[in-house]
């Protein structure tokens, strides 16, 4: 078996996307979610899962009407926090979309990487109450397996009999993109033929809302939920918490070709950096994000002027939005004004560890369909945000190369490039 850390000296295999799956505030599958994003539908509403009336932020991008039973038995559901259920649902839908069944997977050459930001926080909150009110002997025996992040990939590995590499990556809001990027390297290096990669998050609970509110990170536009997430707009006042999952089926190009798979895109570039600057604030002028984008371009052997569309990190925060925009200007120079840029977080809210994964699904579907979702609510652009953010309405054109940005607390940055396949 080849060592992935020496892959630069070996011929690299091409990695393609053959399946996509999603559970999001915009729909219970990838197709519905993307179609609603292109229509400019907002999935952000008043929180109904618990009484949020005492919270400064009372809105969220929640998943509506999700039922795990088509994917997971009721017996197994009891052992899983919601983020694990979302991971399994999105992944099984992605496999179906790729035309793959369990018996089709080369067991020891199929791996699973999932990005998860915060794990089973709702279960921690619930079981903490049990501990205080009824004592430690009344905690569920499934408490630990429900909350640890790697069960998002581990449960799926058990279900599918996938015996390749299996772990979860936790890097805040870049988790999903890191999981995809690292999965790509395992196929490129020859260790795996298929990787199931993405991200999942479900922390819509009082503790998460309260914690982010204490940081002054969340929008408090409670009376107009659908207008609350407004990246690059002068009226933005913070991000909106979202939840869900996105999964890609990544495959060695030759393996996919032999089985006649539909190929949505090739993953051509991956770049990751650290700001080394601050716990929550990006580096000045988005320097770390700029370097990650440049590394992704280098990895893809692309020039800056070949990028057609950027699905931006674009969280709707006062500090983050202009810095990402400035980073794009500084890297892409004159071409920056020609790039279509949009933030689907304007409709989904911020899915934290699942954000980069869901936005990768949207990026790939944009590449495949030629439709770029809009940035809704962008009515009065910030003076420091001078680029084309596809405001209010979707647009159409043939795309060749799409960049997806994900930047996280702790100064972690991950950028992915998806390209139209050229045989």
DSSP state of 26: T
Q: CA–CA separation, 39 vs 45, rounded Å?
A: 17
Tell me the angle at which helices 206-214 and 121-134 cross, rounded to the nearest 10 degrees.
110
Q: Identify whether residues 203 and 345 lie together within a single domain.
A: no
- In sequence order, what DSSP letters do the residues of 65-129 get, joined into one string? S---TTTS-HHHHTT--HHHHHHHHHHHHHHHHTT--GGGS-GGGEEEEEE-SS-SHHHHHHHHH
Q: Is residue 3 part of a domain?
A: no
Residue 119 in tokens: 């794990």
Q: Identify whether residues 200 and 289 lie together within a single domain.
A: no
Phi/psi region, residue 172 (left: phi>0; alpha: psi -120 to 50; beta: rest), is: left
Q: Report how many helices (DSSP H) and strands (DSSP E) the chain contains, helices first.
A: 13, 14
Q: Identify whether residues 247 and 294 lie together within a single domain.
A: no
Q: Identify whether residues 211 and 283 lie together within a single domain.
A: no
Residues of the chain with pLDDT under 50: 1-7
Among candidate residues 258, 284, 313, the one where a domain is terminated = 258
Residue 102 in tokens: 């369990």
Q: Is residue 190 part of a domain?
A: yes
Q: CA–CA separation, 254 vs 3, rounded Å?
A: 20
Q: Identify whether residues 190 and 99 lie together within a single domain.
A: yes
- In this prediction, residue 49 carries a pLDDT of 95
Residue 16 in tokens: 């393609």
Q: Identify whether residues 157 and 198 lie together within a single domain.
A: yes
Q: Identify whether residues 415 and 326 lie together within a single domain.
A: yes
- In this prediction, residue 147 carries a pLDDT of 97
- In this prediction, residue 283 carries a pLDDT of 85
Residue 61 in tokens: 């991008």
Residue 350 in tokens: 């911020």
Q: CA–CA separation, 212 vs 160, rounded Å?
A: 36
Q: Is residue 1 part of a domain?
A: no
Tell me if 228 sits within 8 A of 59, measured CB to CB.
yes
Range of the domain at 119: 15-258
Render pLDDT for 207-217 as a digit per residue (tens, 0 to 9): 999 999 999 99
Who's near 260: CB < 8 A, 6+ residues apart? Answer: none
Render pLDDT for 241-263 as a digit per residue (tens, 0 to 9): 999 999 999 999 999 999 999 99
Q: Identify whether residues 51 and 166 lie together within a single domain.
A: yes
Tell me the angle at which helices 30-39 and 355-369 cross, rounded to the nearest 10 degrees.
80
Who's near 111: CB < 8 A, 6+ residues apart? Answer: 162, 164, 165, 166, 183, 186, 191, 192, 194, 195, 196
Q: Identify whether residues 310 and 248 lie together within a single domain.
A: no
- In this prediction, residue 9 carries a pLDDT of 52
Pick the closest to residue 353 from 242, 248, 276 (CA basis).
242
Q: Identify whether residues 212 and 325 lie together within a single domain.
A: no
Q: Is residue 4 part of a domain?
A: no
Residue 373 in tokens: 């979702």
- In this prediction, residue 158 carries a pLDDT of 97
Active site residues: 173, 313, 350
Counted domains in the chain: 2
Q: Is residue 263 part of a domain?
A: no
Among candidate residues 258, 280, 295, the one where a domain is terminated = 258
Q: Is residue 7 part of a domain?
A: no
Q: Is residue 6 part of a domain?
A: no
DSSP state of 162: -
Q: Which helix (H) or strand (E) holds 272?
A: strand 265-274
Q: Identify whether residues 203 and 339 lie together within a single domain.
A: no
Among candidate residues 234, 258, 282, the one where a domain is terminated = 258
CB atoms within 10 A of CB 65: 6
Q: Identify whether residues 250 and 278 lie together within a single domain.
A: no
DSSP state of 131: H
Write the CATH number for 102: 3.40.47.10
Q: Is residue 8 part of a domain?
A: no
């Amino acid at each position: 078996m080849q060592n992935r850390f020496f892959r630069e000296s070996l011929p690299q295999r091409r990695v393609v996307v053959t399946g996509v799956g999603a559970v999001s505030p915009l729909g219970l599958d990838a197709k519905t979610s993307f179609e609603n994003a292109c229509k400019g539908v907002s999935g952000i509403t008043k929180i109904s899962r618990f009484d949020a009336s005492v919270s400064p932020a009372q809105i969220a991008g929640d998943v509506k009407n999700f039922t795990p039973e088509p994917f997971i038995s009721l017996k197994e559901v009891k052992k899983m926090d919601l983020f694990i259920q979302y991971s399994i649902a999105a992944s099984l839908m992605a496999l179906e979309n790729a035309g793959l069944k369990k018996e089709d997977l080369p067991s020891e050459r199929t791996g699973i990487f999932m990005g998860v930001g915060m794990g089973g926080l709702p279960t921690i909150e619930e079981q903490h109450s049990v501990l205080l009110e009824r004592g430690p002997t009344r905690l569920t025996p499934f408490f630990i397996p429900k909350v640890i992040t790697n069960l998002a990939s581990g449960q799926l590995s058990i279900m599918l009999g996938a015996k390749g590499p299996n772990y979860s990556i936790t890097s805040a809001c870049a988790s999903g993109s890191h999981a995809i990027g690292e999965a790509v390297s395992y196929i490129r290096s020859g260790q795996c033929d298929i990787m199931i990669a993405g991200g999942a998050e479900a922390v819509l609970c009082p503790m998460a809302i309260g914690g982010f509110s204490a940081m002054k990170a969340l929008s408090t536009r409670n009376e107009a939920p659908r207008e609350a997430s407004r990246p690059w707009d002068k009226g933005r006042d913070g991000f909106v918490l979202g939840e869900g999952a996105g999964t890609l089926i990544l495959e060695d190009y030759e393996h996919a070709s032999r089985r006649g798979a539909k190929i949505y895109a090739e993953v051509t570039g991956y770049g990751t950096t650290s700001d080394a600057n601050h716990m929550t604030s990006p580096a000045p002028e988005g320097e770390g994000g700029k370097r990650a984008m440049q590394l992704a371009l280098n990895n893809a052997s692309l020039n800056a002027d070949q990028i057609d569309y950027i699905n931006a990190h674009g969280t709707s925060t006062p500090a983050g939005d202009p810095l990402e925009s400035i980073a794009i200007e500084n890297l892409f120079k004159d071409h920056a004004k020609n790039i279509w840029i949009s933030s689907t977080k304007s409709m989904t809210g911020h899915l934290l560890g699942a954000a980069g994964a869901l936005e990768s699904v949207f990026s790939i579907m944009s590449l495949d369909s030629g439709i770029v979702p809009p940035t809704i609510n962008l009515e009065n652009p910030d003076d420091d945000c001078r680029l084309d953010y596809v405001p209010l309405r979707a647009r159409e054109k043939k795309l060749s190369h799409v960049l997806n940005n994900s930047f996280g607390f702790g100064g972690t940055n991950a950028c992915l490039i998806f390209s139209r396949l050229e045989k």
